[in-house]
Amino acid sequence: MSRKWTNTNSQYPQMPYDLIKEMLVALGIMGVLVLLLAGIFSTPDVPALTAKQVAQQAPQLLLQNALDDLSGQDAISTYGPPYNNTPGASQSLAGISPEQWAGVQIPIKSAQVNVIGPLTKIEPVNPSLKAPLTTWQRATSSQQNAWVQHVESALSKAKIVGNALVLPAQTPGDYGPLPAMLNAYLSLARTGLLEDAIDGGTGPMPVIDRTKSLLLLQDVPDAAYAAKLDMAGNEWGIIKETGNYPGAVWLWFYTLLYQIPPFSTSASADLWVVLTTGGVTVILMLTPFIPGLRSIPRLVGIHKLIWRRYYRDQRKRRGVRA
Amino acid sequence: MSRNLTKSLRDWIAETLPMENLLPDSLPTYVDSYVYLFGILTVAALVWLIFTGTILAIFGPDWWHVSAVGHFFNSMHFWSVQAFFFFMVLHLWAQFMMAAWRGGRHWTWIGGWLLFLVSIVAGLTGYLSQNNFDAQWIGVQGKDAINATGVGGFFDLLNFGQMYGLHIFVLPMLIIILLAVHLMLVRMHGVVEPLDDDKGAENDES
């Protein structure tokens, strides 16, 4: 089989070179650089936001989160695949909807996973929860929603007294079993065991898939905490460290698209951005085969700088010959 | 089967990548610019990444949160990532400006892009393996783009075990394999020849 290419390097004037020495010098330079940067700038390490923290610092936020979960108004309940089948929630573009095609692969029912399930788990150590939970589960969904609405509208006037939620007095029955459930929920979160109750670890082996408990606070609480830590994404994009550290600048093109129309205004922004970035990447990968695109380097002329000494020698040689 | 596979392989290697091309002790004089250092500096950053990452993996994912030495290794790992991408992007731009895909070098160019793409996923899984608020926030925000592509059910940014496994073994292994092929192709074809001076013949094609 004959080669389609030839290594013509040996046909050019040569200079001595030591590949191994160059590698060792590069390793040394990089080592010093990395040691200096690590020594001077270190790295941030802000612990993850926990339900315990939210319960202690912003209990009403955690309760609002739980109420949204119970009434299906939370962001995950209306998210669509891979968590559920909310009609019209899947992103799509001209009939292309990979999200819809993939379907529900990590089914999550927020009310059950985030609130009812964990409360049911602690019922044996808190038997007074049995009656409220039974009342909740026997009620119709419209009754449940009515209770949630009543509590929601009263939440801004509610107080936390001695770690307990005290709602403004109303007609008895209006809040249903929710005060008892929410107080138990708050207590559970304060112990720091809510996430474990959600992820459902049983036995001594580590729970290494925290998808469910990570989705618990993913909407308002996480965003509020991120804003505090300068991670809202305006500066470097979402993929960055806390504080003033460089982010994934290599994703600048991908991140930029989210800021400009039509991407920024589309309900299918993620799909638009991913497909566009993917398309541009494929075009750049195939540059060698695309007339016009592959001629850009010649037109730009940076190569004249890179090879300036070579071109100068060539011209000299031609001049001598002439 | 009379053909000796071992001898065939040896002959193919000797023919395709003779030792003087694999480990050269001379280079064409046109290889005379700082831009030629970007590639080797990227490789050097990768070596430091693998070294610091190995130390972090040996002591486990919790170590760097509780140990000053661990935190220092994490910082070295983080800054190696920054250097790795910094020099890789410079290398990519330099190769573009030299139209380095010429002379049958298109697979070197495409392979370089594959390395960049796999490195991006490796970087993402690294951010997600940190077990702190960075990982939490990047996971819950980044999941939307992955879910929109339909692979979120399989490639679950919130599944620490999956992300950690990919980050410390699968993706580095893929990068090492792709890099080995990339470097072999570079040594097989030699360093790309300069474009023709001024108004030379069109030779942008691969």
Q: Do A108 and A196 have their domain in common?
A: yes
Q: What pLDDT score was predicted for residue A229?
A: 83
Q: What pLDDT score was predicted for residue A201?
A: 75
Over range B105-133, report the average pLDDT. 96
Q: Best residue in B141, B156, B179, B185 to probe A by mutation, most A CBs within 10 Å?
A: B141
Nearest CA in chain A to B88: A250
- Which chain B residues have a beta carbon less than 8 Å from that of A305? 33
Q: Which residue has the tokens 């079993």?
A: A177
Contact A37, A29 (CB under 8 A): no
Interchain pair A306, B48: CB under 8 A: no
Q: Do A167 and A89 have their domain in common?
A: yes
- Which chain B residues have a beta carbon less than 8 Å from that of A13? 28-29
B133 touches chain A (CB under 8 A): yes
Q: What pLDDT score was predicted for residue B202?
A: 43
CA distance A201 to chain B (A): 14
Q: Do A236 and A149 have their domain in common?
A: no
Q: Is residue A145 part of a domain?
A: yes
Nearest CA in chain A to B130: A45
In angstroms, the first-to-last Cα distance of chain A is 42
At B102, the pLDDT band (50, 70, 90 cuts) reads very high
Q: Is residue A304 part of a domain?
A: no
Q: Do A155 and A266 have their domain in common?
A: no
Helix (H, G, I), strand (E, B) or coil at A191: helix
Question: What CA–CA distance (Å, rounded) separates A266 from A273?
Answer: 10
Q: Is residue A79 part of a domain?
A: yes
Minimal Cβ distance to B161: which of A4, A23, A209: A209
Distances in whole angstroms, Cα of residue A25 to Cα of each of A31, A109, A185, A196, A203: 10, 57, 60, 50, 52
pTM across the whole model: 0.92
Number of domains, chain A = 2
> Among A96-110, B94-108, B119-133, B187-201, whose mean pLDDT is lowest?
B187-201
Interchain pair B194, A35: CB under 8 A: no
Q: Best residue in A76, A294, A295, A315 to probe B by mutation, most B CBs within 10 Å?
A: A294
- For A151, the token pair is 């509590």
> Among A303-317, B41-55, B73-87, whose mean pLDDT is lowest?
A303-317
State the CB neighbour count (10 A cutoff) for residue A284: 16
What's the sign of the alpha-carbon dihedral A72, A77, A79, A80? negative
Contact A188, A118 (CB under 8 A): yes
Question: What CA–CA distance (Å, rounded) separates A128 from B167?
Answer: 46
Q: Do A216 and A83 have their domain in common?
A: yes
Q: Is residue A195 part of a domain?
A: yes
- Which chain A residues have a beta carbon less than 8 Å from that of B83? 30, 33-34, 37
Mean pLDDT of chain B: 93
| Phi, psi for residue A225 in degrees, rounded to 5 | -70, -40
Over range B61-82, report the average pLDDT. 97
Q: Do A58 and A84 have their domain in common?
A: yes
Q: Is residue A193 part of a domain?
A: yes
Q: Do A190 and A263 have their domain in common?
A: no
Decide if pLDDT at B200 tops 50: no
Helix (H, G, I), strand (E, B) or coil at A93: strand
Question: What CA–CA distance (Å, rounded) separates A151 from B77?
Answer: 49
Residue in B167, B53, B68, B71 with CA at minimum distance from that of residue A44: B71
| DSSP letter (8 states) at residue A10 | G
Whether the link from the prior residue into A98 is cis, omega within 30° of 0, is: no
Per-residue pLDDT of chain A (322 residues; tens, 9 = 90+): 445 557 888 899 999 999 999 999 999 999 999 999 999 999 999 999 999 999 999 999 999 999 999 999 999 999 999 999 988 888 888 888 999 999 999 999 999 999 999 999 999 999 999 999 999 999 999 999 999 999 998 888 888 888 888 888 866 568 999 999 999 999 999 999 999 999 987 788 888 999 999 999 999 999 899 888 877 765 555 667 777 788 888 888 888 888 888 888 888 888 999 999 999 999 999 999 999 999 999 999 999 999 999 999 888 888 766 5
Q: Is the ipTM of this structure higher than 0.95? A: no
- Which chain B residues have a beta carbon less than 8 Å from that of A218? 140
Decide if pLDDT at B204 tops 70: no
Residue in B179, B99, B108 with CA at minimum distance from that of residue A5: B108
Q: What pLDDT score was predicted for residue A203?
A: 83
Minimal Cβ distance to B35: which of A47, A209, A306: A306
Question: What CA–CA distance (Å, rounded) separates B74 from B135?
Answer: 14
Question: What CA–CA distance (Å, rounded) separates B144 from A218?
Answer: 11
Q: Do A216 and A252 have their domain in common?
A: no
Contacts 24+ apart (CB under 8 A), A220-227: A220/A61, A220/A64, A220/A65, A221/A49, A221/A54, A221/A58, A221/A61, A221/A62, A221/A65, A222/A49, A222/B136, A222/B137, A222/B140, A224/A58, A224/A61, A225/A49, A225/B133, A225/B137, A226/B133, A226/B137
Interchain pair B47, A286: CB under 8 A: no
Minimal Cβ distance to B195: which of A208, A287, A298: A298
Q: What pLDDT score was predicted for residue A238?
A: 63
For chain B positions 17-76, those within 8 Å of chain A (CB to CB) are 21, 23-33, 35, 37, 40-41, 43-45, 47-48, 52, 64-65, 71-72, 74-76
Q: What pLDDT score was predicted for residue A235?
A: 52
Interchain pair B160, A30: CB under 8 A: no
| All structural domains of chain B | 35-83 (no CATH), 99-191 (1.20.810.10)
Q: What pLDDT score was predicted for residue A8?
A: 85
Q: Do A195 and A235 have their domain in common?
A: no
Nearest CA in chain A to B24: A19
A38 touches chain B (CB under 8 A): yes
For chain A positions 94-133, those within 8 Å of chain B (CB to CB) are 98-106
B123 touches chain A (CB under 8 A): yes
Q: Is residue A154 part of a domain?
A: yes
Q: Is residue A308 part of a domain?
A: no
Q: What pLDDT score was predicted for residue B199?
A: 44
| DSSP letter (8 states) at residue B62 | T
DSSP of B139-188: HHHHHHHHHHTT-TTTS-TT-HHHHHHIIIIIHHHHHHHHHHHHHHHHHH
Q: Do A216 and A77 have their domain in common?
A: yes
B3 touches chain A (CB under 8 A): no
Distances in whole angstroms, Cα of residue B118 to Cα of each of B47, B113, B156, B173: 16, 9, 17, 10
Q: Do A126 and A247 have their domain in common?
A: no
Minimal Cβ distance to B48: which of A34, A297, A314: A34
Q: Do A248 and A216 have their domain in common?
A: no
Q: Is residue A173 part of a domain?
A: yes
Helix (H, G, I), strand (E, B) or coil at A164: strand
Sequence-ordered alpha helix ranges (H) in chain B: 5-16, 19-22, 37-59, 63-66, 68-97, 106-128, 133-148, 160-165, 171-189
CA distance B155 to chain A (A): 11
Minimal Cβ distance to B156: which of A44, A211, A248: A211
B12 touches chain A (CB under 8 A): no
| Phi, psi for residue B17 in degrees, rounded to 5 | -135, 75
Residue type, A160: I
Distances in whole angstroms, Cα of residue A308 to Cα of each of A13, B29, B92, B195: 15, 12, 20, 11
- The domain of A262 spans 229-285
Distances in whole angstroms, Cα of residue B97 to Cα of each of B31, B80, B103: 14, 26, 15
Higher pLDDT, B198 or B155: B155
B135 touches chain A (CB under 8 A): yes
A with B: how many residue pairs have Cβ under 8 Å apart?
A: 293
